[in-house]
Structure 1
Amino acid sequence: MKLCLFILVSFALYCSSESSNIQNHLGSRTPYRLKGNKNDSQIKYPNCKDSKIWMVIRHGTRYPNAKDITKINTRLKELKLEILLRHRLGKGELSDEQIKKIENWTWDLDLEKEKFLTLEGQDEMIILAERTRKRFPGAVKEKYNNQTILFRYTATQRAQQSARYFANGLFDKKEAQDVLFSPAAKVDTVLRFYKHCDKWQKQVKKNPLTYTEQKLYGISKEMNDTIKSVTKRLGLKNLLSLDDVNLMYKACGFETSWNKHFTSPWCYPFDVRSVQTMEYYQDLKYYWMDGYGHDLTYRQACVSIKNMFENFSSKGGPSASFLFTHSGTILKILTHLELFKPRSHLRGDKNVPDRTWRASDIDCFGANLALVLYRCKGVDYVLALHQERVVKLPMCEKELCPLKTLKEYFHKSIYECDYTDMCSLKKDDL
């Protein structure tokens, strides 16, 4: 009896550990609750005081786009029936409990809610704001004043609502109702510059060559082994397609992210190794589209960087600027700042397990980058935080970096950031 109990407990711990490991590798759909720094202590340096903060924040957990909603509602429901049938024939490696959860799984998401902020996304923003205010009381004033705090968001429901719930976390209920938000602009070259950069759209995003490495990995031995593993785990007769496995990976990410008390049953087809394969498959796309693959990708982020330096160099202006945006903006700004740069370009011939460029860590839902201005004995310094943790900028000797050093290093970003010229399609580009 004791032996049986030990085996059951050990199995439960193993399953819990495996589930936790899988949740940490869901790419850009990884839940922020697993990545944010929960230590909200004030960040202090001797003889220094925080005076300004410039923070760019990816919206919180959202629902899928219309295309994925439809695919999940049709294809995964078909696969669900097949999985249940094969299980009755004694096929597959899932437990009875896992099969029961797949059997009870439903998907009734309204298309009208595509990309809308979820309840979990609301909580993410509230908690992030509460911790930010505690860490930097000098820059984030306890009482709301529209002259000292700036809120900007893109013209999307998920960014707008993220800003509103973030404000709810910064101030008490009455003050939060009085917060003024800068009107969203359809064309915003600070918050979503890449959307309006014609040259980048043509040469990078819509260029088939951008996806060469991802496609190469899609036919690699590692990917073929993953597809076989998922197919075997589910007990299916016919080998799944990469599209099917990727759809399961997406459903696993979305459903797990928007419910902190629930792991999507579409995570069950994956073990740690196979989910890391899918993670790398997604990373290859974002690396070459939003990261270090093409210099125009990150050069255009000078518009946002310039905005930060202008605020830090001014005696006036808001002491706290909170900018609510999207994955594409976060990744390009991180790249412009030379953060999370791998030793060499990511390629599709083999997974790189120890890479620093990992969307699950740097671009999860609610991902954020904060640059904080400190005044230390009359000299200005800048502290960088990613996912609420202090990071040392590569061009600096220490975490607390002189503003003068950064301005010299990013001289071109501040004074030679000609967005129109950079992004305009010329005859030679057509």
Structure 2
Amino acid sequence: MSGLVFLLALGLASAQEICLSVQDDPYLFFGTKTAYIFANKDNPSTRVHEVPGCQPIAFWLLNRHGTHNPEANEMPELQRLADLKRNILTNYKNGNFRDTNQRICQSDLNLLERWEWNERINLTFAGDLTVDGYMTTQQLGQAWKQRFPGLLTPNQHNYLFKFVNDQRSSNAFKAFTEGLFGSDADSLDIPKENDEKLLRPYKFCPAWTKEVEENNDTVSQLAIFESKREYQEMISNISLRLGFNYDVQKEVIQRIYQMCRYNKAWDVVKVSPWCAAFTREDLKRLEYAEDLETYYKYGYGSPLNKDIGCTLVKDMMNFFEKHSADVDTPQQPRALIHFSSAAMLLLTLTALGAHQDIVPLTGDNYHSTNVQARKWTTSTMMPFNANIAAVLYKCTQNGKFQVNEPYQVLFLENERPMYLDKCRVGLCDWSLVKHRYQELANKCDLQFCNSATKLNSFTAISFAAIAYIFRYITMRI
């Protein structure tokens, strides 16, 4: 290593060193691979959600899993970073720079030299929750119990858990229930069931698969953004920073970015040497690229997404209808808790009408004021351990906090009040909830899934644009 230090000092003494791994205010938003603590900082985990004059009577929750190992199809590409590391170190040793004003600083190089692929992360454990992912899921169970102590009681018969049939969701259920029930969790017969069609309806919907998931037009706006000169310059600058005399492939940049954000999610206090490849603006552009992809694949970019995201809205409405029926006998379960994927949570948010921007996201409007202040941001919407909760309250008139109706619903996203139009800090009249979502729930039979549809991406983008223009005009009236 001393030889490398000498060469750097001798040949590149006048170069501008950029220590990107040790910035005072690092950019920590990494799309769907963001750590929950970064997306949800400053949120007190023990705060009780009290609504004056109201008592919570039913709790509905949809969870995403915590941090996990790379998927099986990711591992071979990420393991190849070991070869890339050797090439970068060779570049620096040989002084291979087109522009010496951009290069990685010595401390970042030292970190990179020490980096090795963790051999314990192999195909046997592909996609499994990490130790941190298990612990944060436990902590989330504890946090919800602290927020609603009178509703989330130690009685296991008050609960019904639903999760998809895979190892990751099963472990998430196990971790969450340990957070709720402590050491008693393993000995309790906790009501649970697998419900794939409820929690992953898109896997059973050929029309959505054809028209959205496998439709090349779905990523057309992403392709436009990636074709922009500034995006190509970003690739050039990153290549320069790594010491290459040519622009590396976009896929290599994506591989580095994936490792960077996995590292930061796995250990939030540890510095990832791969993050040193990116400036703050680089990370914002890569974040927007994923926002574009998810916007059209799971969000408002296609009208089919609301239609397929209806299943969990229907599940919530049916659950609350039962508990708001004013029957004398308390209804069971009192808590309905689900575990699913980031895709399903995004589809559900779309069906709920949350994070709806005035103008659609496109590959051309990255620098616009609306996009820079956009609501559709996967980093804050869908970090690891993301969650959507709805709590039904039964209320009486209270002089300090007037409620219009005896039943209220509090919507929470990542434990914070969700912004929904005509609601007060996430608290909505039950009649408003029914008016807004009952028709969607009643029509949620997914019959369109097996029918031929001629909707293409251009039509979807036009539909989205017209919808937003109409919404913008009506807001001004």
The reply to whether TM is greater than 0.5 is yes
Question: Is the CA contact 1:120–1:260 (under 8 Å) kept in the aligned structure 2?
Answer: no
Task: Give the counterpart of 1:111 among 117, 120, 123.
Answer: 123
CA distance in 1, matches of 2:272, 2:227: 27
Question: Is the CA contact 1:214–1:348 (under 8 Å) kept in the aligned structure 2?
Answer: yes
2:94 counterpart residue number = 89
1:144 counterpart residue number = 155
Q: Output the amino acid matched with 2:452.
A: K
Question: Is the CA contact 1:217–1:349 (under 8 Å) kept in the aligned structure 2?
Answer: yes
CA RMSD, Structure 1 to Structure 2 (Å): 2.1
CA distance in 2, matches of 1:330, 1:276: 23
2:327 counterpart residue number = none
Question: Is the CA contact 2:163–2:340 (under 8 Å) kept in the aligned structure 1?
Answer: yes
1:422 and 2:472 aligned: no
Q: Output the amino acid matched with 1:32.
A: Y
Cα displacement (A) at 1:64:
1.4
CA distance in 1, matches of 2:45, 2:51: 16
1:332 counterpart residue number = 347
Cα displacement (A) at 1:244:
0.9
SS at match of 1:46: coil
SS at match of 1:78: helix
Question: Is the CA contact 2:21–2:271 (under 8 Å) kept in the aligned structure 1?
Answer: no
TM-score, normalised to structure 1, is: 0.91
Task: Give the counterpart of 1:362 among 372, 381, 384.
Answer: 381
Worse overlay, 297-306 or 170-179:
170-179
Task: Give the counterpart of 1:180 among 154, 174, 190.
Answer: 190
- In the TM superposition, what whole-angstrom CA distance separates every residue of 1:348-375 from its partner, at most 9, and x where no partner exists? 1242322111111101111111001111
Task: Give the counterpart of 2:394 among 363, 375, 393.
Answer: 375
Task: Give the counterpart of 1:162 among 153, 159, 172.
Answer: 172
Question: Is the CA contact 1:311–1:318 (under 8 Å) kept in the aligned structure 2?
Answer: no
CA distance in 2, matches of 1:398, 1:184: 33
- In the TM superposition, what whole-angstrom CA distance separates every residue of 1:115-168 from its partner, at most 9, and x where no partner exists? 111111111111111111111123211x132x2111111111111111110111
Q: Output the amino acid matched with 1:138.
A: G
1:6 counterpart residue number = none
- In the TM superposition, what whole-angstrom CA distance separates every residue of 1:77-98 from its partner, at most 9, and x where no partner exists? 2211111011123456212221
CA distance in 1, matches of 2:229, 2:394: 54
Kindly report which structure 2 residues correspond to 1:13-412, keeping only aligned pairs within 5 A, or say none.
Answer: 15-18=22-25, 20-21=26-27, 23=28, 25-36=29-40, 37-74=43-80, 76-90=81-95, 91=97, 93-107=103-117, 108=119, 109-141=121-153, 143-145=154-156, 147-185=157-195, 188-315=196-323, 316-351=331-366, 352-377=371-396, 379-396=406-423, 399-412=426-439
SS at match of 2:411: strand
Cα displacement (A) at 1:179:
4.4
1:7 counterpart residue number = none
In structure 2, stretches of 5+ residues that fail to align are 1-17, 324-330, 397-404, 457-477
Cα displacement (A) at 1:228:
1.5
- In the TM superposition, what whole-angstrom CA distance separates every residue of 1:240-268 from its partner, at most 9, and x where no partner exists? 11111111111111121112332321111
Worse overlay, 390-399 or 54-63:
390-399
Question: Is the CA contact 2:387–2:413 (under 8 Å) kept in the aligned structure 1?
Answer: yes
With over 3 angstroms needed to count, the CA separation of the structure-2 counterparts of 1:14 and 1:30, relative to structure 1, is: closer
CA distance in 2, matches of 1:195, 1:281: 24
Q: Output the amino acid matched with 2:283.
A: V
Cα displacement (A) at 1:417:
1.6
CA distance in 1, matches of 2:453, 2:161: 39
- In the TM superposition, what whole-angstrom CA distance separates every residue of 1:313-362 from its partner, at most 9, and x where no partner exists? 11323111110000111001111111111221111124232211111110
CA distance in 1, matches of 2:292, 2:453: 30
CA distance in 1, matches of 2:339, 2:425: 28
Q: Output the amino acid matched with 1:106.
A: E
CA distance in 1, matches of 2:216, 2:286: 20
Question: Is the CA contact 2:20–2:277 (under 8 Å) kept in the aligned structure 1?
Answer: no
CA distance in 1, matches of 2:44, 2:425: 23
- Number of equivalent positions: 411
In structure 1, stretches of 5+ residues that fail to align are 1-10
SS at match of 1:349: coil
Cα displacement (A) at 1:222:
2.3
CA distance in 1, matches of 2:261, 2:67: 10
Q: Output the amino acid matched with 1:35.
A: A
User: Percent same amino acid at aligned positions?
Assistant: 27
CA distance in 1, matches of 2:135, 2:165: 21
SS at match of 2:410: strand
Question: Is the CA contact 2:20–2:279 (under 8 Å) kept in the aligned structure 1?
Answer: no
TM-score, normalised to structure 2, is: 0.82
